[in-house]
Amino acid sequence: MSLKLGVIGTGAIGQDHIRRCSQALLGSQVVAVTDINLESAAKVVGDLGLGAEVYPDGRALIQAAEVEAVLVTSWGPSHEEFVLAAIAAGKPVFCEKPLAVTAAGCRRIVEAEIAHGKRLVQVGFMRPYDAGYQALKAVIDSGRIGEPLMLHCAHRNPRVGENYKTDMAITDTLIHELDVLRWLLADDYVSVQVLFPRKTSKALAHLRDPQIVLLETARGTRIDVEVFVNCQYGYDIQCEVVGESGIARLPEPSQVQLRSEAKLSNAILMDWKERFIAAYDVELQAFIDGVRAGQVGGPSAWDGFAAAVAADACIEAQNSGQIVRIELPQRPGFYA
């Protein structure tokens, strides 16, 4: 029997996840959708030829008897409410990043899940499922480059819309590094500072872009992440780990190498949908399989909370220009 999914939010990633759950992955069926724009939800159902019902809102969808598990793909500020409602209904929930827009919101989810007594939440941090990051982690864990001392990373988007604000460089964009680097190093952050280089003329007046985020981990590893969301040329994710005896780099996504017109070239992808297409497939298949086996795994509500604690400190550092401490409470045994 297929797992019956309800999807809240039929925008860019919602449509993408609906398509993959109903056409590409095994063992699930989208039976319910909703969006604050009900017309757009109905259009997605029609365009994808789904036999899904359109519910008036997220709460009604979560309560519906036919919905066995929930995907939350609406805007970040609405995530907390829907994840808490799914936990209250005892239904497994896959929530796109961020789990909630503040650490306090994530903490409420952690507490509700612990009170429920069993894991129900998987956060949509897909990078730990990316084959490149997994290969990089395998090299680090093998000891071949020794202990990691420094990481040089970049998160570049070609451009962003006018609703994108300076703090979203943290909550919407850097949040992926805040999760994946903690996983890569099996270490937690202890401090952060944010620097603003010369501003690009390609960014709108209200947005400070690019930014450099300097993180330090408990073991003393130093990380610099360039966040540059109007870089124009492509969607480019870089991660170089400098160890005691060698350097390991995140592999480039595989592309045909071209020798043509006196040039040797490789295309650069232009958006996240293509760059992480396989990772999204694997993370959602893991959610579906986990729910069907009665065992939700993957990035947990605690991981969502840990990233949000660091994100809150990054925003304080953006505003103050100072080095800000990152204090993550002790991880509860529930998430061991």
Question: In the set 3, 5, 7, 13, which binds ligand NAI (CB under 6 A)?
Answer: 13
At residue 321, what is the residue type? G
Report if residue 299 touches ligand NAI, rule: CB under 6 A.
no
Helix H or strand E segment including 215: strand 211-217
Report if residue 130 touches ligand ISE, rule: CB under 6 A.
no
Q: How far is the CB of 336 from ligand NAI (least distance, A)?
A: 26
Report if residue 272 touches ligand NAI, rule: CB under 6 A.
yes
Residue closest to ligand NAI, measured at CB: 11
Report if residue 93 touches ligand NAI, rule: CB under 6 A.
no
Restricting to residues 151-190, name those near ligand ISE by CB under 6 A: 157, 172-173, 176
Report if residue 234 touches ligand NAI, rule: CB under 6 A.
no
The answer to whether the beta carbons of residues 73 and 49 sit under 8 Å apart is no
Restricting to residues 154-173, name those near ligand NAI by CB under 6 A: 172
Sort strands 53-54 and 263-266 into parallel, antiparallel or unpaired: unpaired
Q: How far is the CB of 98 from ligand ISE (least distance, A)?
A: 9
x-marked contacts with ligand NAI along 113-142 as a string, rule CB under 6 A: -----------x-x----------------
CB-side exposure of 228: number of CA atoms within 13 Å?
23
Q: Which of 66, 261, 236 is nearest to 159 (CA)?
A: 236
The answer to whether the beta carbons of residues 225 and 210 sit under 8 Å apart is no
Write down how long the chain is. Answer: 336
| Interacting span for ligand NAI (CB under 6 A) from 35-43, 187-195, 210-218, 247-255 | 35-43
Q: How far is the CB of 294 from ligand ISE (least distance, A)?
A: 29
DSSP summary character for residue 158: S
Between 96 and 177, name the residue whose CB sits nearer to ligand NAI: 96
CA distances, 70 to each of 13, 36, 59, 298, 324 (Å)? 14, 16, 11, 16, 36
Question: In the set 68, 96, 216, 226, which binds ligand NAI (CB under 6 A)?
Answer: 96
Restricting to residues 44-83, name those near ligand NAI by CB under 6 A: 58, 73-76, 78
Report if residue 133 touches ligand ISE, rule: CB under 6 A.
no
Q: Which of 301, 306, 293 is nearest to 335 (CA)?
A: 301
Between 10 and 230, name the residue whose CB sits nearer to ligand NAI: 10
Q: b/e string for 43-81 if b means 16 or more Cβ within 10 A? A: ebbeebebebebbeebbebbebeebbbbbbbbebebbbb
As a whole number of angstroms, the distance between CA 336 and CA 328 comes to 15
Q: Which residues are at the interface with ligand NAI (CB under 6 A)?
A: 8-14, 34-37, 40, 58, 73-76, 78, 96-97, 124, 126, 172, 272
